[in-house]
Amino acid sequence: MITKGIREIKENLSKYLHMVKEGEDVVVTERGIPVAVIRSLPEKGNIEKKLLKAAAQNLIQLPKRSGFLRSRRKELKRYFKGEGKTLPEIIMEERRESW
């Protein structure tokens, strides 16, 4: 989380919006007092992008077999909504099927 004053944000708005798009939260202060937070909107329906981003951050490792994301799309959507099977359950099921 980055904390910056109003003047700094006004002068470099594009820079801070780029940071927000990358997932960083920006706290806006007025005379040192926090008055707002700039945060990106949650993305809907782009599970592949979320998984690729998590893989790029070394939070997960994607399977080497292509088509995994497409074949599990509905299950993954339910997982990201907090419904259905957990991600480890989905992965274990996929591994069992491939043996």
pLDDT digits (tens, 9 = 90+) for 20-37: 988 889 999 999 999 999
pTM: 0.46
Q: Which domain holds residue 74?
A: 47-98
Residues facing 5 on adjacent strands: 29
Same domain, yes or no, for 60 and 94?
yes
Same domain, yes or no, for 54 and 20?
no
Domain total for the chain? Answer: 2
Report the Cα 18 to chain-centroid distance in Å: 15
Quickly state the pLDDT bin for 13 (edges 50, 70, 90): very high
Report the Cα 52 to chain-centroid distance in Å: 9
- The predicted pLDDT at position 94 comes to 78
Q: Model confidence over 42-92: pLDDT tens digits?
A: 766 577 777 777 888 888 877 766 666 666 666 666 666 666 677 777 778
Same domain, yes or no, for 54 and 21?
no
Same domain, yes or no, for 53 and 24?
no
